[in-house]
Amino acid sequence: MATTPESAQQTEDLYATPLSGLKGLSGSRLRQHERTAADHDLFLAAANGAGPLIARGTLLDISRGGFRAELDAPSPVGDVLQAVLVENEEVEIEPRFARCLRCAVAAEGRYEASFQFLSPVELPRIGR
Q: Which residues of the chain have pLDDT under 70?
A: 1-33, 87-93, 124-128
**H-type helices in the chain, by residue range?**
5-16, 27-30
CATH number of the CATH domain containing 75: 2.40.10.220
Distance of CA 126 to the CA centre of its chain: 16
Within a domain: 100:
yes
Q: Is residue 11 part of a domain?
A: no
- Whether the pTM exceeds 0.75: the reply is no
User: What would the pLDDT profile of 80-91 be if each residue is shown by its tens digit?
Assistant: 999 887 765 555
Q: Could you tell me if residue 123 is inside a domain? A: no
Give me the phi and psi of 11, to 5 degrees please.
-65, -45
Structural domain includes residue 10: no
Please report whether residue 106 resides in a domain.
Answer: yes
Count how many domains the chain has.
1
Is the separation of the CB atoms in 70 and 86 below 8 Å? no
